[in-house]
Structure 1
Amino acid sequence: MNKVRIGIVGIGNMGKGHLNYLSKDEVKGGELTAIVDIDPARLDWVREHHGDRYVLFDNLNDFFASKAFDAVLICTPHYDHPTVAIQAFEHGYHVLVEKPAGVYTKQVREMNEAAARSGKAFGIMYNQRTNPLYQKLRDLITSGELGQVRRTNWIITNWYRSQSYYDSGGWRATWAGEGGGVLLNQDPHQLDLWQWTIDMMPQRVRAFCHFGKYRNIEVEDDVTAYVEYANGATGLFVTTTGEAPGTNRYEVTGDNGKIVVEDGKLTFWRLRTPEPEFNATWKGGFGSPEVWKCEIPVAKSEGAQHKGITQNFVDYVLKGTPLLAPGEEGIKGLTLSNAMHLSAWTDNWVDLPINEDLYYEKLQERIKNSTHKKEMQELKHMDVSGTH
C-alpha cells in the first residue's frame, strides 16, 4: 500500500473542515475518495463545490459495502461515534474518529474492544496534542525535569457561549442531543491534555456541576472539580461557558518548581534546590528555595492540528509511525467528564474507574426527560400522522 484512501462519515462543520485540506491533497499518502451523509442537502453541497470527484453515499450500509476506501474519518454527532466506528471495524476498515470518543465510557469501551479485535489502525482527533506548548509541557514532566507532580490546576473559562448559540440547534446543550454541556462539547481537548501532559489519571473525583446556571439549557455550563492522584498529588479543573472575559491558565507544580501555560507561553518557575531537599537541609526558619523564572522556548505555532493528526494516522498505516493520539486513549478524557457528571448527580465522591452501569442509568434518566428527545418524538409523530 502506497496510499490510504479515506472516506468521511458526516459532512457537517467538522466534516467540511477535514474535506477542505484533504481535497487539496495536503496529507501526504492520504486520498479522500468517498463521503456519506444522510442529509441530501449536504451531499448536494459537495457536488456543487467538488463536482463528481468523490463517490457519495446517503446511507452507511452502501458506504461500508462499497470498499471505495481503506479508512474512515468519523465526523458524526457524539452518540454515533462508537456505533459507526464499530461498524467500520467489523467491515475491515481503519478508523480515525472525531472527539469526543463518545458520550459514555461503557459504549466507548465496546468500541475499543472492537478495535482490538479488528487489528486495524485506530486514532482519535485530539489535535491539541500537536500543539508545541503541550508537547513541551509533557516532555518536561515525563522526563522528570519537574520532579514528582504535586498539583495540577486548570482554569479554562474562555468558552463563552451566548444563548443564541444554544438556540441555533435544538440538539445543542441537551442530554439526548449531545450528552452533556461544556465538559463534552468544549472541554474534551483540555480533559485529554490534563491527563496526557502529566501521564497520570486521578484515583477519585469530587465535582460540582451547575446545570443551566447561566443559560436556558439542560446540561452543565459551570463546573468545578477536585481530583486526587495515587502519588498524593491533587488537581483542580474549573470551566464554564458563561463568563466574560475568560481565563485559560494551566499550572503543574512539582518537587522542582512550577510550570505555567498561559497566553501561548510556557514558563518554568524552577527551584535551584528541589523542595524536598531544601526542606530536609534548611535550618534558617523562614526561607524558601531560590527560584529561577525560565521562559521555555516553544515554536510560535499551534502545531499541525487536525491535518497533523490525519497525517500521523496515515503515516501509521503506511509506515508504522507511532500514533500521537491512539483511539483507545479517548476513553481517558471521557472518564474524567463522566466522573464529574456522576459526582454531581450523586453528590458524592466517584472512584476511578467509574461505575459504568450507574453512569449509564443516570444518563438515561436525563435523556428520557430531554427537550431534544421530546422534540424528535413530536416530529416523528407529525411525519407519521400527517395531521400537524
Structure 2
Amino acid sequence: MKNVRVGIIGLGNMGKGHLSYILEGKVSGLELVAVADVTDAAKQWAKEHLPQEVAFFEQPQQLIESPTVDGVIVCTPHYSHPELAIECFKHNKHVLLEKPAGVYTKQVREMNEAAAGSGVVFSMMYNQRMNPLYQKLKNLVDSGELGDIRRTNWIITDWYRSQHYYDSGSWRATWEGEGGGVLLNQSPHQLDLWQWTVSLMPKRLRAFCYFGKARNIEVENDVTAFVEYENGGTGVFITTTIEAPGTNRFEVVGTRGKIVIENDKLVFSRLRESETEYNERTTESFGKPECWTIDVPIQGENTGHRGITQNWIDAILHDTPLIAPGEEGINGLMLSNAMLLSTWNDDWVELPIDEDQFLEQLQQRIEESRKVRGEQ
C-alpha cells in the first residue's frame, strides 16, 4: 500500500479541523477519498470546500462499506463512537477515533474486544500526547528520575463556557445528547494524560460533581476528585467550566522531587537524594533534602492532531508503534465514569467500576430528562 485512502465521518468542528491540515497535504501517505455526514448543511459545505474527487456519503454506513476507503476518522457525537468503530472493524477498516472513546465503559470495552480480533490499526485522537511537555514528564517518570510517585495534582479550570455556549445546541450538556459535561467534553485529554504520564490508574476514588452549577444545564460542570493509588500515593483532579480566569497546573511529586507543568513550562525541583533515603539517615528535626530547581529544556514541536494522524498512517503503512492506541481510550473514560458514579452513590468507587450500575444510573437520568422536556 502506497497511500492510505481515508474517509472522515462527521463534518462538525472536529471533522473540518482535521480536513484543514489534510487538504494542505501535511500528512504524508494519506489520500482523502470520502466524507460522510447526515445533514444537508454539511453536504453543501462539502460541495463548496472539498475537491470534486472526494466522495460525499449521506450515511456513515455507506462510507464504511465503500471499497475505496481503507481507513476512517470518526468525528461524530460521543454516543456513536464505539458503534461506528465496531462497524469499521467488521469491514476491515483502520480507525482513528476522536475523543472520548465513548460515553460509558461497557460500550467501549465491547469496542476494544472487537478491535482486538480485527487485525486493523486502531488509534485514539489523543493529540495532547504529542505535546513535548507531557512526553518529557512521562520520560522522567518512566526512567525513574522522579522516584516512586507520592502525589499527583491537576487543576484544569480554564474551560470557561457561557450559558450562550450551552444554548447554542439543544443536545449540548444533556445526558441524552452528550452523556456528560466537563469530564466528557472538555477534560478527556487531561484525564488521559493524568494516568498516561505516570503509568498509574487509581485503585479507588471519591468525587464531588456539581450539576448545572451557575448554568442552566443537566450535566456536571464543576468537579473535585480524590484518588488513591495501589502504591500508597494519592491524587487530586479539579475541573470546571465556570471559572474565569482559569488555571492549568499539573504537579507530580515523587520520592526524588517534584515536577510542575504550567504556562508551557516544565520545572523539576530535583532532590539530590531520595526523600526515603534522607529520612532514614537524617538526625535533624527540621532539615530537608538538598533540592535543585531545574527549568527542563523541552525539544520538539507539538504536532497535535496532525501528529496523531501521521502516526496512525505510519502505523498502517510501516508498522510504526502507536502513540495513542485505541484500546487505551477506556482509561480516561473509566476515570470520568467513576467520578460520576461516586457522586451519584455519595461514596467511594473501586476501579474498575461496576459498569452495569453506571449504565443503569445514566439511563435513569436520560429518562428523567426526557420527562422534564416532555412536560415543557
Asked if 1 retains the 8 angstrom alpha-carbon contact of 2:6 and 2:33, the reply is yes
Deviation at 1:25, TM superposition (A): 1.8
Asked if 2 retains the 8 angstrom alpha-carbon contact of 1:123 and 1:326, the reply is yes
- The superposition leaves residues 291-349 of structure 1 with CA deviations (integer Å, 9 ceiling, x where unpaired) of 11000001375x11001000000000000100000000000000000000000000000
Matched letter for residue 209 of structure 1: C
Who is 1:386 aligned against? none
Q: Distance in 2 between matches of 1:154 and 1:234?
A: 12
Asked if 1 retains the 8 angstrom alpha-carbon contact of 2:64 and 2:72, the reply is no
Asked if 1 retains the 8 angstrom alpha-carbon contact of 2:90 and 2:118, the reply is yes
Q: Distance in 2 between matches of 1:21 and 1:229?
A: 40
Q: Distance in 1 between matches of 2:227 and 2:184?
A: 18
Who is 1:25 aligned against? 25
Asked if 2 retains the 8 angstrom alpha-carbon contact of 1:127 and 1:306, the reply is yes
Q: Distance in 2 between matches of 1:287 and 1:332?
A: 40
Asked if 2 retains the 8 angstrom alpha-carbon contact of 1:202 and 1:228, the reply is yes
Deviation at 1:2, TM superposition (A): 1.2
Deviation at 1:373, TM superposition (A): 9.2
Who is 1:103 aligned against? 103
Deviation at 1:372, TM superposition (A): 10
What is the number of residues matched between the two proteins? 376
Deviation at 1:24, TM superposition (A): 1.8
For residues 150-165 of structure 1, the aligned pairs below 5 Å read 150-165=150-165
- Residues 15 and 372 of structure 1: CA distance in aligned 2, closer, same or farther (over 3 Å): farther
Who is 2:186 aligned against? 186
- The superposition leaves residues 268-296 of structure 1 with CA deviations (integer Å, 9 ceiling, x where unpaired) of 00111210111011112221111110000
Q: Distance in 1 between matches of 2:129 and 2:314?
A: 16
Deviation at 1:93, TM superposition (A): 0.5
Who is 1:251 aligned against? 251
- The superposition leaves residues 199-236 of structure 1 with CA deviations (integer Å, 9 ceiling, x where unpaired) of 11010010000001121111001000000000000000
Who is 1:145 aligned against? 145
- The superposition leaves residues 178-205 of structure 1 with CA deviations (integer Å, 9 ceiling, x where unpaired) of 0000000000000000000001101001
Deviation at 1:66, TM superposition (A): 1.8
Range moving further from structure 2, 57-66 or 145-154: 57-66
Cα RMSD of the aligned pairs, angstroms, is: 1.5
Matched letter for residue 340 of structure 2: H
Q: Distance in 2 between matches of 1:87 and 1:370?
A: 29
Q: Distance in 2 between matches of 1:128 and 1:65?
A: 31
Matched letter for residue 340 of structure 1: M
Q: Distance in 2 between matches of 1:248 and 1:215?
A: 22
Q: Distance in 2 between matches of 1:89 and 1:330?
A: 16
Deviation at 1:374, TM superposition (A): 4.1
For residues 215-364 of structure 1, the aligned pairs below 5 Å read 215-299=215-299, 301=301, 303-364=302-363
SS of 1:103 mapped into structure 2: coil
- The superposition leaves residues 18-65 of structure 1 with CA deviations (integer Å, 9 ceiling, x where unpaired) of 111111221100111001111121011111112413011001332222
Matched letter for residue 23 of structure 1: L
Who is 1:385 aligned against? none
Asked if 2 retains the 8 angstrom alpha-carbon contact of 1:124 and 1:330, the reply is yes
Who is 2:14 aligned against? 14
- Residues 373 and 184 of structure 1: CA distance in aligned 2, closer, same or farther (over 3 Å): farther
Q: Distance in 2 between matches of 1:185 and 1:60?
A: 22
Give the alignment's TM-score, normalised by structure 2: 0.98
Percent identity of paired positions between Structure 1 and Structure 2: 61
Asked if 2 retains the 8 angstrom alpha-carbon contact of 1:174 and 1:372, the reply is no
Matched letter for residue 329 of structure 1: E
Q: Distance in 2 between matches of 1:187 and 1:116?
A: 27
Q: Specify every segment of 5 or more residues in structure 2 that has no aligned partner in the other structure, as ranges.
A: none
Asked if 1 retains the 8 angstrom alpha-carbon contact of 2:141 and 2:147, the reply is yes
Asked if 1 retains the 8 angstrom alpha-carbon contact of 2:74 and 2:95, the reply is yes
Matched letter for residue 357 of structure 1: D
Who is 2:115 aligned against? 115
Asked if 2 retains the 8 angstrom alpha-carbon contact of 1:174 and 1:371, the reply is no
Asked if 2 retains the 8 angstrom alpha-carbon contact of 1:177 and 1:373, the reply is no
SS of 2:5 mapped into structure 1: strand
Asked if 2 retains the 8 angstrom alpha-carbon contact of 1:367 and 1:373, the reply is no
Alignment of 1:36 onto 2:36: yes
SS of 1:194 mapped into structure 2: helix
SS of 1:193 mapped into structure 2: helix
Matched letter for residue 339 of structure 1: A
Q: Distance in 1 between matches of 2:255 and 2:371?
A: 49
- The superposition leaves residues 103-149 of structure 1 with CA deviations (integer Å, 9 ceiling, x where unpaired) of 00000001001111111110000000000000000000011000000
Q: Distance in 2 between matches of 1:372 and 1:87?
A: 32
Q: Distance in 2 between matches of 1:202 and 1:287?
A: 32
Matched letter for residue 323 of structure 1: L
Asked if 2 retains the 8 angstrom alpha-carbon contact of 1:176 and 1:373, the reply is no
Q: Distance in 2 between matches of 1:6 and 1:109?
A: 25
- Residues 95 and 372 of structure 1: CA distance in aligned 2, closer, same or farther (over 3 Å): farther
Q: Specify every segment of 5 or more residues in structure 1 that has no aligned partner in the other structure, as ranges.
A: 379-388
- Residues 53 and 373 of structure 1: CA distance in aligned 2, closer, same or farther (over 3 Å): farther
Give the alignment's TM-score, normalised by structure 1: 0.95
Who is 2:207 aligned against? 207
Asked if 2 retains the 8 angstrom alpha-carbon contact of 1:205 and 1:343, the reply is yes
SS of 2:117 mapped into structure 1: helix
Asked if 2 retains the 8 angstrom alpha-carbon contact of 1:176 and 1:372, the reply is no
Asked if 1 retains the 8 angstrom alpha-carbon contact of 2:63 and 2:69, the reply is no
Q: Distance in 1 between matches of 2:144 and 2:351?
A: 25
